[in-house]
Amino acid sequence: MPILSPSILASDFSRLGEHCREAISAGAEWLHIDVMDGHFVPNITIGPLIVRALKPLANETGAVLDVHLMIENPDDYIEAFADAGADIITVHVEACTHLHRTIQAIRATGARPGVTLNPATSLSTLEEILPEVDLVLIMSVNPGFGGQSYIPASTDKIRRLRSMLDAIGSSAHLEVDGGVKASNVAEVTGAGADVIIAGSAVFGGSESVEANVKAIMNAW
């Protein structure tokens, strides 16, 4: 079964712990934490303090803290996020001059390393690093803001990445982020994704977080 990783960026931050607990209770296994610096992407979000604040809940429930660094110079912050409690730290190929070194630095902290790329970046940029990572993230929107529409060409990209992972016998997770909801999640999982990030589809709308989580999980 796929794993649901709700993006806390779309939650009500005045009720962050409550919203995250509700999502986990409904069946979400991970919590996705989008870190943006206003330089690599045109938005500013959160830092290690939020990861640290969520760690007790993660320890209590067994949830995985899935941290996505959409920042310049990610090497400067790997240790801080790992110390705060990140279980997975994902970096962008576009932001890392020495990607192997960055991935090794993440693993050295005890966190699991992940790699991602923007929608217009070719999968060929991942070929040399795939054997070294535990997760690969396909961005199906341009990173920076929640609530965007899924880019249709992402489905073929997911399918091609799944073939690349299978070809090298990789057990890395294939995660997808951007515009995924109950109405298209079956398309995404059918193409080969096994971790689904959803933000507004979980924390937005008129239904409860629990109802939204169950709607997504019933649709895949």
Active centre residues (catalytic): 34, 177
CA–CA gap between residue 194 and residue 71 (Å, rounded): 25
CA–CA gap between residue 189 and residue 158 (Å, rounded): 9
- Token reading at 186: 């079956």
CA–CA gap between residue 30 and residue 15 (Å, rounded): 18
CA–CA gap between residue 51 and residue 186 (Å, rounded): 30
CA–CA gap between residue 215 and residue 105 (Å, rounded): 38
CA–CA gap between residue 137 and residue 149 (Å, rounded): 17
CA–CA gap between residue 151 and residue 139 (Å, rounded): 9
Assess contact for 19 and 203: CB atoms under 8 A.
yes
Assess contact for 50 and 31: CB atoms under 8 A.
no
